[in-house]
A and B are shown apart, each in its own frame.
Chain A
Amino acid sequence: GQQLNQSPQSMFIQEGEDVSMNCTSSSIFNTWLWYKQDPGEGPVLLIALYKAGELTSNGRLTAQFGITRKDSFLNISASIPSDVGIYFCAGQDLEYGNKLVFGAGTILRVKS
């Protein structure tokens, strides 16, 4: 099946620092989604990207849909302690029945 490679696997950063994570795929997707999961909770949608080259912001978060449609990145600016959690990328495509394919996640830990 389709697979997404998400990196880094984990990050331990200082409060106030900027964070960057990305996902790559061997397959083309028509939609890229970024979710955040707090411990013991379900993932919550952060940003949805629908067009190749699209750059979208949501507060301190910025995400881009790669031009090749095979990659996406998420940036978090000026990290704060509540940013801790697991960040997942997900790709979606009609050829795969519109189902989501998830990356393995990036664990973010912030030192205050």
Chain B
Amino acid sequence: DGGITQSPKYLFRKEGQNVTLSCEQNLNHDAMYWYRQDPGQGLRLIYYSQIVNDFQKGDIAEGYSVSREKKESFPLTVTSAQKNPTAFYLCASSTMGYNSPLHFGNGTRLTVT
């Protein structure tokens, strides 16, 4: 079955540590996205990538970094510079066609204490 896999489902870290969230897709989609979800707020775009080895900042990129070395993979690193990292992180992918809807993974809940 094709889909988007995010791992782990739950992640706990101490403040000051960097942490990397995994996102893998086997849908052969060119574009991949990372969103952050906080209670009572819509999804906010962190980074997106439309092609391998290229990515762009979204609306809230500060304190995050990404890489896109393979089409199938788009890992997100939450660095110690992110002031409020505890959140639910969602990865998504889409084709590059105009008006292509996003398909989401099941998310990673990160808790930093």
Contact = CB atoms under 8 A, between A and B. Distances in A.
B107 interface: yes
Interface in B40-54: 40-45, 48
Chain B contact residues (Cβ within 8 angstroms of A): what range? 20 to 34
A48 B101 contact: yes
Interface stretch (A55-63, A75-83, A97-105): A97-105
A52 to B, nearest CB: 13
B63 interface: no
A102 B100 CA distance: 15
A88 interface: yes
A104 B37 CA distance: 10
Nearest to A101: B42
B59 A42 contact: no
A62 B102 CA distance: 20
Given A1-B59, A94-B98, A98-B98, A45 B42 contact: no
A31 interface: yes
A45 B106 CA distance: 13
A44 B104 contact: yes
A1 B57 CA distance: 14
Interface in B14-69: 33, 35, 40-45, 48, 56, 58-59
